[in-house]
Amino acid sequence: MPTRLSVNINKVALIRNARLGNLPDLVQVAKDCERFGAEGITVHPRPDERHIRYSDIPQLKAVNTTEFNIEGNPTEKFMELVQQNQPTQATLVPDSPDVLTSDQGWDTIKHKAFLIDITQQLHAAGVRVSIFVDPVAKYVEGAKAVGADRIEFYTGDYAKQFEADREKAVAPHVQAAKVAREAGLGINAGHDLNLANLRFYQENIEGLLEVSIGHALIADALYFGLSNTIQLYLRQLQ
């Protein structure tokens, strides 16, 4: 199965929120991303709504024609948002409200009872559950134990180490992905993947179902244009 590209549009919302108007139009950008070849749209609303606003979610869901993925810490408000809008997938991320960006995965052992409850609630709403984890076997196994459908590997450390030693950088992901496949978990990945490191990652992670990319893709689009940039990323996944 080919790896799907889900475009995270948080940075588009951040630019919009720098002014009081609706430029760029977030909903139109989401539609255009799909028109240009994106196979999913990802958003990560945060409590301070510094980029994605809660009011954006139903509008984005209404126009989505591929897959819609909502990421976030499963607070009460987040759960209400997901249950009301029923995206294709909810990616559970253990970030605090004031963190700049997600930089670590769940300890699925320590938070097992909590994650079981959250997963059951999301499944009852018909939502696929992915749990954001570091590439560590015990946390992958823990994700399986709580009933998740998929895991999303945090790839920030991979991206940092890539230029110095790509084989060493990807090795923990290769090992953890094997554990995921044996457990019957789907594999997603995201954080700091870009045009330089994406192909190598995809070639080494057997069964990689989805990558969620926002920051680098939107930055590249400033130079190459959004349509061209999405095509460039899709080529890395072929």
Domain ranges, ordered by start, for the chain: 4-236
Q: Which among 193, 191, 190 has a CA at the least distance from the CA of 232?
A: 193
Catalytic residue (one of 34, 67, 71, 210): 71
Catalytic residue (one of 34, 51, 173, 191): 191
Q: Which residues are CB-contacts of 223 (< 8 A; sequence separation ≥ 6)?
A: none
Give the pLDDT of residue 20. 87
51 is written with which tokens? Answer: 């980029």
Q: For residue 116, which amino acid is it?
A: I
Which contacts of 167-171 are long-range, i.e. CB under 8 A and separated by 24 or more positions? 170/200, 170/201, 170/204, 170/205
Per-residue pLDDT at 132 exceeds 60: yes
Catalytic residue (one of 44, 51, 67, 210): 44
Per-residue pLDDT at 238 exceeds 80: yes
Per-residue pLDDT at 128 exceeds 80: yes
Per-residue pLDDT at 100 exceeds 60: no
Contact (Cβ atoms closer than 8 angstroms) between residue 5 and residue 230? yes
Of residues 95 and 67, more confidence is placed in 67
Q: Is 111 annotated in the active site?
A: no
Q: Which of 18-22, 31-35, 60-64, 86-90 has the lowest mean pLDDT?
A: 18-22
Give the pLDDT of residue 95. 78
CA–CA distances in Å: residue 168 to residues 28, 95, 153, 165, 171: 40, 27, 16, 5, 5
Section 137-151 average pLDDT = 98
* Backbone phi and psi for residue 210, each to the nearest 5 degrees, phi listed first: -155, 140
Q: How confident is the model at residue 120 (pLDDT cuts 50, 70, 90)?
A: very high
Section 156-165 average pLDDT = 97
Q: Is 44 annotated in the active site?
A: yes
- What share of the chain in percent tops pLDDT 90? 94
Contact (Cβ atoms closer than 8 angstroms) between residue 154 and residue 191? yes
Give the pLDDT of residue 101. 55
Cis status, amide bond into 74, omega within 30 of 0? no
Give the pLDDT of residue 104. 76
3-class SS of residue 85: helix
Contact (Cβ atoms closer than 8 angstroms) between residue 41 and residue 7? yes
What integer best gives the mean pLDDT of the chain? Answer: 96
Q: Is 210 annotated in the active site?
A: no
Largest CA distance in the chain: 49
Length of the chain: 238
Per-residue pLDDT at 161 exceeds 90: yes
Secondary-structure class of domain 4-236 per CATH: alpha beta
Per-residue pLDDT at 225 exceeds 90: yes
Give the pLDDT of residue 103. 64
In 87-149, DSSP assigns E strands to 89-92, 128-133
Per-residue pLDDT at 6 exceeds 90: yes
Section 62-85 average pLDDT = 97
Q: How confident is the model at residue 1 (pLDDT cuts 50, 70, 90)?
A: confident
The number of angstroms, rounded, from the C-alpha of 232 to the middle of its chain's C-alpha atoms is 19
Per-residue pLDDT at 44 exceeds 60: yes
